[in-house]
Amino acid sequence: MGFDIDRFVEVVNEGLLCCICRDVLEDPLQSPCEHAFCSSCIHAWLVAECTCPEDRQPLTSSQLRPLFRYMRNDLARLRIRCRNHRLGCDHIGKLEFAPAHQEECPLEEIFCPHGCGRRVARGDMSEHMEECEGVGAGAVARSKECTNGCGLVIVTDDDREHNCIAELRTNIEILRSEMLCKLEDQRQEMELRLDMQRGHMIQRESALKGHIDELKQELARVSQKIKLLLDIELQRRQDLERMQTERVEMMEVLNNLKREQDQNKNRCQHCAARRSASPAPVGGGSGKVTTI
C-alpha cells in the first residue's frame, strides 16, 4: 500500500500515484507499458490477474522493473508529514528520510521490550517500564535467562515460580493477540484502500462510458455526413448521365439540321443552275413568268 496522499505538503504529480491504490508510490515498480504501482499492490493484483490494471496489457511479475531514476528522485524529494501528525507530531521532511524519523519519533508506538504485550509511545516508554509489572530497576538487575532452555528471561526472585510451558503459552497468546491486532489493522486499511480504488474505478468507468457515448454520437454524425455525400454523389451521377443523354440527343438534332441544311443548299444550287440554263423570253416581253 502507498503513502497516504493527505500526508504530503504539496500537490503530488499524478504520475507519482499508484495506479491501484491511488496513494503515493511506496517501494515502486513499473510495467513494460510504463504504469507505476506500489510493490505490494501490484503483486497482490497479479495473484488473481495476468494483465496490467491500467490498460489490460499482458503482465507477469517477472516483467516488473524498478521505477525510472528521475521518478524515484522526484519521490524522494516530496515533503511528507509524520504518520503520527494527528497525534501531535509536527515533523515534516523529505520522503526518503521518513523511515529514519519513524525510528526516533517520540509518538511512535512500540511494544514493551520486556514482553508485557503493551504498545506504548516511544517517549513514554521509560515511564511505562518503571510501572511495568515484574519489570522494575531491581527486577531488571536480577533477571536471567531460563536454564531449562525455553529462552525466556526470568524476572522473579524464585526460579521455582517459573513454568516454561506456561510462560511459553502466555508469550504465544501475547504474540497471537499482537498478530490479530496487526491483521485487523491491515484488514481495515485494505478495505479502506479497496473502497478508494473501487471509487476510482467507478469514476474511470463513468468517464469511459461518457467518452464512448461521445464517440458513438460522433460516429452517428460522420455516418450521416457520409450518407449525405453518397446521396449527393448518386444525384451527381444521375445528372451527369442525364446531361450525357441530352448531349447525345442534341448532337443528333444538330446533325439532322446540318443534313437538311446541306440538302436545301444543294437544292438551291440546282435550281439556280436550271434558271441560268433557260432561254430568254421572245418579243421583248417584260420577262414576267406566269406561274402555273
DSSP annotation string for 172-192:
HHHHHHHHHHHHHHHHHHHHH
Q: Which of 43-57, 62-76, 267-281 is predicted least confidently?
A: 267-281
Q: Comparing 8-12, 140-144, 259-263, which segment has the lowest mean pLDDT?
A: 140-144
Q: What is the rounded CA–CA span in Å between residue 276 and residue 265?
A: 17
Label residues 171-183 b or e (16+ Cβ within 10 Å = b): eeeeeeeeeeeee
Q: Establish if 41 belongs to a structural domain.
A: yes
The runs of H, that is alpha helices, within 63-163 are 69-77, 98-102, 125-131, 137-142
What's the number of CA atoms in the CB half-sphere (13 Å) around residue 290? Answer: 2
Indicate whether 24 belongs to any domain: yes
Question: What pLDDT does residue 101 have?
Answer: 92
Residue 71 lies in a domain: yes
Residue 245 lies in a domain: no
Mean pLDDT score of the chain: 82
Residue 183 lies in a domain: no
**Could you give the CA distance from residue 28 to residue 18 in angstroms, rounded to a whole number?**
8
Mean pLDDT across 215-239:
93
pLDDT band at 220 (very low <50, low <70, confident <90, very high): very high
DSSP letter at 136 equals S
Q: What is the DSSP string of 12-81?
A: PPGGGB-TTT-SB-SSEEE-TT--EEEHHHHHHHHHH--B-TTT--B--GGG-EEPPHHHHHHHHH-EEE
Residue 292 binned pLDDT confidence (cut-offs 50, 70, 90): very low
Cβ-contact 77, 92 below 8 angstroms: no
Would you say residue 270 has pLDDT above 70? yes
Residue 288 lies in a domain: no
What is the per-residue pLDDT across 147-181, written as a single tens digit (0 to 9) for each? 666 666 665 555 556 667 777 777 788 888 888 88
Whether this prediction's pTM lies above 0.75 is answered by: no
36 is a domain residue: yes
pLDDT at 283 over 60: no
- What's the CATH code of the domain at 40? 3.30.40.10
Residue 79, domain extent: 1-96
CB neighbour list of residue 19: distance below 8 Å, 6 or more residues apart: 35, 36, 37, 53, 54
Full DSSP string of 246-283: HHHHHHHHHHHHHHHHHHHHHHHHHHHHHHHHSPPPST
| Number of domains observed in the structure of the chain | 1
Check residue 261 and give left, alpha or beta (phi > 0: left; psi -120 to 50: alpha): alpha
Q: Mean of the pLDDT values across residues 213-219?
A: 92
- The answer as to whether 7 is a domain residue is yes
